[in-house]
Amino acid sequence: MTAPDPSHDVDSLLPRLNELRSALAQAVVGQHEVVEQLLIGLLAGGHCLLEGAPGLGKTLLVRSLGQALELQFRRVQFTPDLMPSDILGTELLEEDHGTGKRAFRFQQGPIFTNLLLADELNRTPPKTQAALLEAMQERTVSYAGTTYALPSPFFVLATQNPIEQAGTYPLPEAQLDRFLLHVRVDYPSETEERDILAQTTGSHSGAVPKVMDADAVKALQLAVRDVHISSDLLSWITRLVRASRPGDGAPAEVNNWIKWGAGPRAGQSLVLAAKARALLQGRFAATREDVQALAAPVMRHRLLLSFAAEAEHKSADDVIAALLRAVPFPA
């Protein structure tokens, strides 16, 4: 990550986070927990996967975030016929009219941006989904033997429909593990739904003002790394992640319901997300409550459920709740 503008003082940037919340609220009604998790992903420098039924405002939320940040924003609609080159780019054969010589030139695809909205990611086959793997982990794109760096900062904010719906493909585990958070978008409350109807059927434009630039985002991301986390909290996170793996010493729920547990990247993600939540709330030290609040979004997509769990209608969130009970924080 390149160094941000030193003129951006972290203390002066913290109030801008509240402005960012307010800007998003002008377009998105409710979904406060979803907005918070999205901002945590932004501060932690990680990618987010938003899952929910169609029509719940997932695309609107990501697009509104792109409008509030002075970052380059692009959207890719994932469809069954989308090809990897439609995302990464392709080589074009060009002729120099002066010399007549021909040469290939790499035409960058929409992934060369700061904020990429991968809309309905699971409606494209795994071949195309895999085109994002290198970009999400390394922030680079390799094509024809050449590696191209992506702009900084770089985020993938993907939406997906529930896999039970027709026309969806399950995301590969390697790709799921690259998402910092798996954010669940649920139906709004009755009051929120009434406000949505009033706001979207009148003359209100719902314009989102720009409140933060790229340097400010990068300064906050660096500040997240400096948020304090105690050794007890680090040890607890380590035990939580390790306890999610079936084997001797694992909780009974894990051995019964989990086929494959979370890897070390889950622990890294939980530490960074907890730090980001602390900074988002104006604190410079992560707490047990930060970890508890983010254990499910960080780990739910990293656990592979067994057939027994499916037969008993158990979800990854049920396992994570059992983990938090079975691995208590040290007194």
Cα 16 to the chain's mean position, in Å?
21
How many other CB atoms are there within 10 angstroms of residue 161's CB atom? Answer: 18
Q: HSE on the CB side for 122, CA within 13 Å? A: 23
Per-residue pLDDT tens over the stretch 103-138: 777 888 899 999 899 988 888 888 888 888 888 989
Per-residue pLDDT tens over the stretch 262-318: 889 999 999 999 999 999 998 999 999 999 999 999 999 999 888 988 888 889 999
What proportion of the chain, given as a percentage, has pLDDT over 90? 29
- Measured CA to CA in angstroms, residue 82 lies from 59, 73, 90, 221, 252 at distances of 19, 20, 14, 33, 43
Tokens 């989904």, residue located: 129
- pTM, rounded to two decimals: 0.85
Helix (H) or strand (E) segment spanning residue 182 = strand 179-184
Per-residue pLDDT tens over the stretch 169-226: 778 788 888 999 999 888 878 887 887 787 777 666 667 778 888 888 889 999 999 9
206: left (phi over 0), alpha (psi -120 to 50) or beta: left
pLDDT value for 190: 85
